[in-house]
């Protein structure tokens, strides 16, 4: 599908409703024409390819809304976000900004003001896409982009990738600059791609980081993989449990050493992250005063999660950071013998939109479950892929392949090998 066809479909296909908050037809067509006219080269790996960006990355001359009308009227960005500038330099045809949860603060994907993009994986039931990079995943799932750039604070790339049957990559935070991205949590935010394959995610990651990972093709045979059991297997829906257990068997049959490992450290995260939690504290510090005066214009569920960050003392905040640093060091030692750690990306399949719109209780229960497993890796400052591991005809289920900070290349090697084995079966 050409860039022109993608742009037209994005405007006319009912399935694309609520995917974009803004489109860039003229710029995207110009990038496509420039790619057609130029000789291909390694310095422009995305030349002419349609790519979308989440609505929290600055574009010069525009006010970045981060999914909320509260930011309308704020000063326009003076420059592109670093990742947007790198996409342009790579030749990408940026077709539009994608919808998201307000301020990226939620794992479900609902936006009551801008609408909620429908998960493309189920033609019969309108299901949530996952968040907060909701429109990003749906743009790829519908074929409106070959890849999307999202942000991932507690799973905001991996959750929608898992629920929509796609591949998502959360790199180690320091890998991709956050300059020009509206923050949720400066300690946890990272920038990552959503695409149809690990290889496509790595191509986009190389552009975003301006540094390709040194990834070698390795067989699963000889890899040592830890299947975590503490916390991450709690409350699995039957469909997720079945797909996950099948995926572990496939990897073991392909030669990997898959070992159940308790990792009791995972059960302590909630306690260590008190009071309030890093995300609410840092989000309120960045946006709370603006939102507090106009919180009736914000999704009340987002405000309910942000508000506890108000009034936390500097001593309490620094204590969380110190506890986290000690926990990371302890957990890295536990993971050192393994090539990667495995778990379900999320413990449930995508719920119906109507269910969660109608009930705060159902919404917050689903939100907690969706964020739980991905947040483990974010708290670790680690890196992770979510890979589809469901069978044809089943609702999407994600397999998370993760590792400590700085092990992005090794985790990518495991993800490539796992993807190949899962596809073969």
Q: How confident is the prediction along the chain (425 residues), in pLDDT tens digits per residue?
A: 899 999 999 999 999 999 999 999 999 999 999 999 987 778 899 999 999 999 999 999 999 999 999 999 999 999 999 999 999 999 999 999 999 999 999 999 999 999 999 999 999 999 999 999 999 999 999 999 999 999 999 999 999 999 999 999 999 999 999 999 999 999 999 999 999 999 999 999 999 999 999 999 999 999 999 999 999 999 999 999 999 999 999 999 999 999 999 999 999 999 999 999 999 999 999 999 999 989 889 999 999 999 999 999 999 999 999 999 999 999 999 999 999 999 999 999 999 999 999 999 999 999 999 999 999 999 999 999 999 999 999 999 999 999 999 999 999 999 999 999 999 87
Q: From CA 331, how far away is CA 298, in angstroms rounded?
A: 37
| Secondary structure (DSSP) of 240-262 | HHHHHHHHHHHHHHTT-EEEEE-
As given in the structure block, the two tokens for residue 414 are: 């495991």
54 as an active site residue: the answer is: yes
**Catalytic residue (choose from 66, 132, 151, 279):** 132
Q: Please identify which of the residues 66, 133, 139, 156 carries the catalytic annotation.
A: 156
Q: Model pTM greater than 0.95?
A: yes
Q: What is the pLDDT of residue 24?
A: 98
Among candidate residues 394, 272, 389, the one with its CA nearest the CA of residue 330: 272
pLDDT tens figures, 350-409: 999 999 999 999 999 999 999 999 999 999 999 999 999 999 999 999 999 999 999 999
List Cβ neighbours of 384 (8 Å cut-off, separation of 6 or more): 158, 169, 170, 374, 377, 400, 401, 402, 403, 411
Residue 53's nearest CA partner among 142, 129, 147, 116 is 147
Catalytic annotation, pick one of 54, 66, 134, 378: 54
Of 96, 94, 89, 70, the closest CA to residue 18 belongs to: 96
């Amino acid at each position: 599908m050409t860039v022109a066809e993608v742009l037209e479909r994005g405007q006319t296909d009912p399935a694309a409703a609520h995917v974009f908050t803004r489109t860039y037809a003229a710029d995207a067509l110009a990038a496509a024409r420039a790619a057609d006219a130029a000789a291909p080269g390694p310095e422009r790996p995305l030349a002419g390819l349609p790519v979308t960006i989440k609505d929290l990355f600055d574009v010069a001359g525009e006010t970045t809304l981060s999914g909320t009308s509260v930011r309308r009227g704020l000063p326009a960005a003076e420059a592109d976000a670093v990742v947007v500038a790198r996409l342009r330099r790579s030749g990408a045809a940026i077709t539009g900004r994608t919808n998201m949860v307000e301020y990226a603060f939620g794992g479900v994907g609902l936006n009551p003001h801008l609408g909620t993009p429908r998960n493309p994986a189920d033609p019969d039931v309108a299901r949530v896409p996952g968040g907060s990079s909701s429109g990003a995943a749906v743009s790829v799932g519908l074929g409106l982009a070959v890849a999307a750039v999202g942000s991932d604070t507690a799973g905001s790339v991996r959750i929608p990738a898992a629920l929509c049957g796609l591949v998502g990559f959360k790199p180690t935070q320091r890998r991709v600059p956050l300059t020009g991205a509206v923050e949720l949590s400066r300690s946890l935010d990272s920038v990552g791609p959503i695409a149809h394959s690990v290889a496509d995610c790595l191509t986009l990651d190389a552009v975003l980081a301006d540094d390709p990972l040194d990834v070698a093709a390795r067989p699963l045979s000889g890899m040592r993989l830890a299947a975590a059991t503490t916390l991450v297997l709690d409350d699995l829906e039957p469909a997720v449990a079945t797909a996950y257990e099948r995926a572990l068997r496939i990897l073991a049959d392909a030669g990997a050493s898959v070992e159940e490992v308790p990792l009791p450290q995972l059960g302590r995260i909630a306690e260590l992250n008190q009071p309030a939690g890093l995300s609410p504290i840092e989000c309120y510090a960045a946006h709370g005063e603006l939102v507090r005066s106009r919180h009736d214009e914000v999704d009340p569920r987002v405000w309910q999660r942000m508000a506890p960050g108000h009034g936390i003392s500097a001593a309490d905040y620094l204590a969380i950071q110190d506890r986290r640093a000690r926990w990371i060091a302890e957990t890295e030692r536990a993971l050192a013998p393994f090539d990667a750690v495995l778990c379900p990306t999320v413990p449930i399949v995508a719920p119906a939109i109507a269910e969660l719109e109608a009930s705060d209780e159902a919404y917050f229960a689903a939100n907690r479950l969706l964020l739980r497993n991905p947040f483990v890796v974010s708290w670790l400052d680690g890196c992770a892929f979510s890979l589809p591991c469901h069978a044809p005809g089943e609702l999407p289920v994600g397999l998370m392949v993760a590792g400590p900070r700085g092990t992005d290349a090794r985790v990518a090697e495991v993800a490539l090998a796992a993807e190949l084995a899962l596809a073969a079966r």
